[in-house]
Every structure is written in C-alpha cells, then in structure tokens.
Structure 1
Amino acid sequence: METLRRTFQSLSVRNFRLFVLGQLLSVTCTWMMVVAQDWLVLELSGDSGSALGVVTALQFTPVLLLTLYGGRLADRHSKRRLLMLANGASGALALALGLWILLGEVRLWHIWLFALALGTVNSVEAPTRISFVGEMVGGELLPNASAMSAAYFNAARVAGPALAGFLIARLDVGPVVLINAVSYLGTVISVALMRPAELHVPAVRPAKPRVVDGLRYIGRRPDLMLPLALVGVLGLAGFNFQLTLPLLAKTEFHTDSTAFGLLSSSLAAGSLLAAFATTARRGRPTALVVTGSALAFGATEAVTGLAPTLPVACLLLILTGFTMMYFAQASNHRVQLGSDPAYRGRVMALYTVIFQGTTPLGALVTGFLAQHWGPRWALSAGGLVSLAAATLALTALPSLAALSRSPEPDPGP
C-alpha cells in the first residue's frame, strides 16, 4: 500500500490531477490522429517512405526553429494561459483537416501544410507544458510528477494506436481526426479549472528573459551538456518509430492498419512500464544511469530490426520502448532537476529542440534508408548509431566528472 501511495504521490495535488485527466484524453486522441495521418499519407503516396518522412520533417521543423523562443515565452508569461491558447489552436487545426478529409479533396500538400502549422503551435506548447509540471507540484514532487506525465503519455500511446486501427477500419480516417479535434477541449477545460493560487510560480519572473542567457547558462554546466548531447544523437538516429513502424507493418509484414496499431502499442506498452518504474525516483539520476540506459536502447532497437515475424517484433518493441522511455526520463530528470527555476523554461526549451528538433533531419535520412534499403535496415541502423554514441559518452564520463564536481545551479537573473 505504501509503495502504491508513493507511486501516485503527485496525483494528490489537485491541479496536477486535473492536468493528467485532460492530457490523458487529449494525448490518446492525438495518437489516434498520428496513426490516421500516417496511414493516409501512405495511401496517397503509394507507400512512399520519403513522403512520410517529409510530413514528419515538416511537423518538427518549427520545433527546431521556434522552440527556444517558446521557452522564452514560458519564462515570461503565465504557462497556464499559454497552454490553453496552444491547445485551442491545435484543436482548430485538427478540425480543419478532418473536415477537409471528409470533403474528399485532401491532397498530400494539404497534410504537409497541416503538419507545418501544428508543429508551429507545438514549439510553444511543448516547453511550456514540460516546465509547467514543476509549477503544479513543486520541486520535491517533480521527479514523480514527471514520471506520471510519461505514464499517461504512454498509456495514451498504447490505447491511441490500437483504437485508431479499429476506428480507421470501420469509420475511415476523417472521423478519427475529428475526434482528436474535439479532445483538445479536455486539456483546455482541465487547465482552466486549476487554482492559480496553488501553483508554485517563481516569486519574480524575468522581465525580459533572453534566449542567449539560457544558452550561456547551459554552456557553463557540463553535467547538463552530456545528457543533452545524447538526447540529440538518439533523437536524430533512433527515435524515428513514427516512420519505421508503419513501413514495417505495410511493406515487410504486409498487414493492415490494425497490425500497425499493434506495433505502435507494443512500443508504448514498454514505455509505460518504464514510466511507472521511474516513479520511484526521488532525486536527480547520475550520468551513469543516463548513459547506461542509452546503451540498452541502442542494443534493443538494433535487434528489433532483425525481427522475423510480427509477434517477435511486438515483443522486441516492448523492450525497446522500455529502454527508450527509461533513457528519456533519466535525461529529462538530470537536466530539469539540475536547472535553476528561473532558467527552466529556456533550458527545457533547448531540451525539446534537441529531442524533437532533430526529427526533421532524422526523418528524411530514415525515410531515404527505408526507401532504398528497407525499414529493417533503417531501424537497425538507428540502434547502432545510438549504441555508438552511448559508448563514446561512457568513455567521456571521467573527464566530465573532473570538469563538473556536482555544481550548484547558478542564481536566477
């Protein structure tokens, strides 16, 4: 009973509990739309991996270009209001795309335009949402709340693709996108119902926070640089499952949208288990935990590319999802718990840029490899590159330890 209480400790905070409920609904439906969108792109393009790579690249390019500015906005303005505005805008975009599909006039360039617009909104929403978790629960409960955030995200990632595969087969793509549009109201309403007086807002907000000050702050922190570098390489090479899994389902195993949903759900199931495993964390993880989990991820992803059958691929994807999320949580906690709250919006914005902003290039490269060598090679190559980067980081740990002897966060601006 005590273990169960500690696992869900952050949910005792009313504001965070509301947030999780709204996000669980919204993110589940977002994953439904991701599957629907990718399936539609494959249908319109004749199963082209390159076309799927372009959609992914367009969705994440604004993250690369604009998220640092989004982090600046998060440090300067009310994160609660920014989240309501961003989710309202995402809902409006999904509504427009869903209606366009139902009219039967949708073309590839329409989906590309939608992906670009949604990525622009996400460049503000992502750093705001990540840094807002600390304001809802405070520093002591931040590791647990961050793990719970990963848990709801991956619970949605399990349910969303599975539901999408079922609904696409019966209702087609358009209604699935419209369901997602309505679901954004869940986040808007849950955030609106929060009690502002119970938020852990910094006593003084920087009047004019500058992006460059956040970059300088990170540059003085070798203990932050290592996890950020690993996140960049693994995000670029290894975290391209939104591209490889639909191709694996359709071109290697020759299955339908239901099987694609099963592959995505298997990856998410492993991630969910890892998220619950990290709820026990009470402090900042070490650099060795970060690099060790990166090594495990690279190895499991490389082996997954060799899976001979769909059931074997699902089992290996559970292991890959577990190691992927364990690494993501370890790096997130090491960066976020080591950052001064006054800089946290900008620090987590850079984390988001590195984590998601590398996706456009990674998607294009992975799409090219999948087109010419097949999705198996693309998947295994990502794992091998991740494995090599983690090995290099492991050898660099003694030198970084000498440069950074448990530094304290700099005082706020």
Structure 2
Amino acid sequence: MRLTNVKSPAPAAEARPEAGVLGRLARGFHALQVRNYRLFWVGQLISQTGSWMQRTAQDWLVLQLTHSPFALGLVTALQFLPVLLLSLVGGVITDRWSKHRLVTITQVSALVQAALFAALVASGAIQLWHVYVLALLQGIITAIDNPVRQAFVVELVGREHLVNAVALNSMLFNGARIVGPAVAGLMIAGASNLLAGIALVLVANAVSFVAVLAGLLMIDPAALWVAPPAPAGNMGQRLLEGLAYVWRTPAVLLVMIVVAAIGTFGYNFSVVLPLLSGFVLHTSAAGYGGLSAFLGFGSLVGALSTAYTRQVTVRRLIGGSIVFSILLGLVAISTNFTLSGGLLVALGFAGILFSTSANTLLQLTVPDALRGRVLSLYMLLFAGSTPIGGFLIGSLSNVIGVSETLLLCAGLCLLGVGGALVYRWRTQ
C-alpha cells in the first residue's frame, strides 16, 4: 500500500534550494519546511529535554535512596520491561489506529505520570517502591508511544523528506540529552536539599509536555501522508504477519541482528552513566549530568552530520556498530573524568551512526502497511532489551565490578556484529 495525502503537497517553491552557504546549511534541515513536522519537532524538542531531566533525577534519586547498582539496574529493568513485553502489541495497534490520535493519548499519559512523580517527591512521601511502580507505568506508556512516534514521522513528511526527518529526530533527541541532564544536575545541586531539587526537575518535565500537546493540536490532519490501516483481523495473526516479513527479508533481518546486540549490551546508558559516575569516577550530581552531556554532544554532532547525508548504507551501519563496541570497551577501562568525557563524545557519535542507519534502512525498506509492526520489533530489540542488559549490568557490577562488566558488554556487542556479518555473507 502507498501513503496517500488528502491535500496537495506544499508548493514547489517551498522546497526550492537556496543559493550560497545558507542554502547548503539549510539542506540539512529541509524536512522542517513541512509545517506539520515542524510543529511536532519543536514540541518534541522541549518535551524530550524534560524527559531527560526526569530520567536524570530518577536515577540520582534511586542511587541516593539505596547506594546500590542493583537497585538502579532493577528500576531501569522495570521501566523497559513493558517495552519488551508490549512493543509488538503496540506495533499492531499502530498499524490499525490513527497515529496522530495515539501520539496525543500517550503524551497526555506521560504528563500525568510525571505530575504524580513530582507530587510524591515534593511532599516527601516518595519511597523506593513508588519509583518502581512509576517506572513500570512509564514503560507501559513507552511501549505504545515508541512505535507510533516512529511510524508517525513518515505520515508527517512523506518519503521525500524521510531520511532527513529521521536524522533531525536524532538531533533533537540528542540535543535534549545534552541540555536535559546538565540542567537537571545543576537544578539538583543548586537546590536547598536533594528532594526539593528532584521535585523541581520533575515539575519542569510535566510542564514540558504542554509544548508537544500544543503542537499536536495545531497539526493539520488533512496534510498528513496517511497510510491505509492494516486489514482487520486477529491481533496474533497481524503480529505474526510482521514477524514473518522480517524473517524472510534478509535486508531487514540483518539490521535486526545488529540492533539486538547493540541494544541489549551497549545502549544501556541510563544504567551505565550513573554507575560510571558513582562507582568508577566518583563524581557529584553535576558530574553525572556532565557525563550525560558529553555523550549527548557526540550524539548531536553525529546526528548533524547524518542530516547532510543523502544515502544510508549497510556498510555505514556495520562500521558505526564496530566503532561503538570498541569505544564502549575503552570507556569501561578509563578512570579519568576528562578522558572518559572525550571517549563518551566519540561513543555518542558512533552510536548515532549505528542507530540512524538502522532506523532509516528499515523505514525505507518496510511496506507502509507493515511499518508499525516492524518498527515495534526494532524498538523491542533496541529499547525493550534494556531490562535484560540493565539487569545484567546491575547484577554483574555487584559481583565483578562496573568496569569489568562494561568490558564484557563491549565484547558481546562485537560478537553480535560479527554474527550479522556472517549472516550477510551467507545470504549474498
């Protein structure tokens, strides 16, 4: 099936390239010419910044309450467990319902969760089990929100601007990763006491959802490139249809193999960075925010370079994954804050080469009618595998140490990429 647009696309003059340096710079942001995408992108930039602030505050709160790597690994596992269990269901729902409506529902739900978290901390009633329950609730929201937001991008911009839109999404995500943790760390450090600072961060996140909801309400539904809904049928059948497509399509399965390895053992920064900060580098809350900012800066530079890329290849995916794995191993053995910061910048850059390549290759390959289900599997492997990796890192760090655990994870990432290379060689 093809995407259909109820209204004519924007006039050709809107997409006309400008001459000179400004025109070349603007080329990396051409997806923002589309009004609907521009509204969504700006709202997401503000909201994602708030979400990173909350994530930083949540992790620091758990460490202060428990001083336990295991507890931090457990809260991360609980937050991502629903993504592991429910992402595929979210993909089926995404292919059946209005993506615009679904995104609005998930954003309202996230606002309520953030407000409840803020109220518990501000009142001083917060306990560890509250954090566990709220993390689980956030995970349920994310399980639906992730695939629908991924699939919604192509409805906002069409295929013409898709590669650039994926890169700009990574740019906003990683820009938020720089600003959010840094601001949260400063807010917590500058408050009269720890709970007051964390409560202020959580309130700021709740307010940030107003921006994305305002953007969603201003979107013109008639200008969306809407994919026809998948045929009605049993949810299990629709789910198996998506999995069967992935299994019999080598170009898609190759991407999934790499994503499974890096997503499970490499992309666990919500656990890795607090552990590095608290148990290897021994920094304060501001230092922890700084480490997150280093990683986010490298990711932002990577996303910016990707925005000017005209073509994404499998070679780019594999190369980014190998470099990412090696850099993770170097981060594991570093005990110097400055050196670790530089390595995290490079790690963020390599991570974006991997993640944007994987996302773009899937978006361009998958049929429109299967987009939600295939992207839900991508999100399951990329983010839903975090309970496995997070729990593994938290548990092993208690036994063999943080650095040794991260070095093992780097080796497992390389092993997975090697398996993907063998699969590619056998299927060519």
Do they fold alike, i.e. is TM over 0.5?
yes
Letter of the structure 2 residue corresponding to residue 248 of structure 1: L
Q: Do residues 191 (structure 1) and 216 (structure 2) align?
A: yes
> 384-393 or 3-12: which moved more?
384-393
For residue 327 of structure 1, the aligned residue among 337, 343, 354 is: 354
* TM-fit CA distance, 1:203: 4.4
Q: Does 1:41 align with 2:71?
A: no
Give the gaps of 5 or more residues in structure 1.
402-413
Equivalent residue, structure 1, for 2:77: 57
Please identify, of 92-101 and 214-223, the stretch whose mean Cα deviation from structure 2 is larger.
214-223
1:133 aligned to which of 153, 164, 168: 153
CA distance in 2, matches of 1:5, 1:254: 42
- Unpaired segments ≥5 residues, structure 2: 1-20, 192-196
Counterparts of 1:371-382 in structure 2, within 5 Å, are 371-382=398-409
Q: 1:73 aligns with which of 78, 89, 93?
A: 93
Letter in 2 for 1:322: F
For residues 355-406 of structure 1, give each alpha carbon's deviation from its aligned partner in whole angstroms, at most 9, with x where no partner exists. 11110011110001222222222222222211222233223322222xxxxx
User: Which letter maps to 2:265?
Assistant: A
Q: Give the Cα–Cα distance (whole angstroms) in 1 for the partners of residues 174 and 231 of structure 2.
A: 34
Alpha-carbon shift at residue 133 of structure 1 (Å): 0.3
Q: How does 1:207-286 map to 2 (within 5 A)?
A: 207-208=232-233, 210-283=238-311, 285-286=312-313
**How many Å apart are 1:286 and its aligned residue?**
2.8
Name 2:104's counterpart in structure 1. Answer: 84
1:409 aligned residue: none
Instruction: Name which of 178, 202, 205 aligns with 1:177.
Output: 202
Corresponding residue for residue 323 of structure 2: 296
Question: How far apart in 2 are the matches of 1:338 and 1:282?
Answer: 16
Q: Which amino acid aligns with 1:240?
A: N
Matched residue, 1:19 = 40
Once residues 350 and 280 of structure 1 are traced to their aligned partners in structure 2, the CA distance between those partners, rounded to angstroms, is 27
Greater Cα offset, 148-157 or 197-206: 197-206
The alpha carbon displacement at 1:207 in A equals 3.3
Among residues 38, 46, 51, which one is paired with 1:30 in the alignment?
A: 51
Q: Which amino acid aligns with 1:241?
A: F
Normalized against structure 2, the TM-score is what?
0.91
Aligned residues: 399
Equivalent residue of 1:281, what SS?
coil
- Matched letter for residue 75 of structure 2: V
* CA–CA distance in structure 2, aligned partners of residues 325 and 380 of structure 1: 20
Identity %: 37
Q: In structure 2, what is the Cα distance between the partners aligned to 1:302 and 1:81? A: 42
Contact 1:223-1:400 at 8 Å conserved across structures: no
Q: Is the 8 Å Cα contact of residues 83 and 140 (structure 2) preserved in structure 1? A: yes
2:12 corresponds to: none
Q: Distance in 2 between matches of 1:3 and 1:376?
A: 43
Structure 1 stretch displaced more, 129-138 or 361-370: 361-370
Secondary structure at the counterpart of residue 354 of structure 1: helix
Contact map agreement 2:257 2:416 (CA 8 A) in 1? no
Write the letter of the residue equivalent to 2:291: L
Query: 364, 369, 372: which one pairs with 1:345?
Result: 372
Cα deviations by residue, 1:303-332 (Å, 9 ceiling, x for unpaired) = 111213101100000001111111011111
CA contact (8 A) 2:254 2:423 kept: no
Q: CA deviation at 1:281?
A: 2.8
**Is the 2:97–2:229 contact (alpha carbons within 8 Å) kept by the matching residues of 1?**
no
Query: How many angstroms does 1:345 deviate by?
Result: 0.8
- Cα distance in structure 2, aligned partners of 1:339 and 1:391: 24
Partner of 1:410: none
Q: Which residue of 1 aligns with 2:25?
A: 4
Whether contact under 8 Å (1:244, 1:378) holds in the other structure is no
In structure 2, distance between residues paired with 1:204 and 1:89 = 24
Is the contact between residue 77 and residue 387 of structure 2 (CA under 8 Å) also seen in structure 1?
A: yes
> Residues of 2 paired with 1:391 and 1:361: CA distance?
21
Counterpart of 1:69 in structure 2: which amino acid?
A: V
* TM-score, normalised by the number of residues in structure 1: 0.94
Structure 2 match to 1:407: none
Moved more, 311-320 or 204-213: 204-213
* Secondary structure class of the residue paired with 2:333: coil
The one-letter code sitting in structure 2 at the alignment partner of 1:177 is L
SS at match of 2:226: coil
Alpha-carbon separation, structure 2, partners of 1:138 and 1:32: 32
**Is 1:287–1:397's contact at 8 Å kept on the other side of the alignment?**
no
Q: CA deviation at 1:175?
A: 1.3
1:316 aligns with 2:323: no
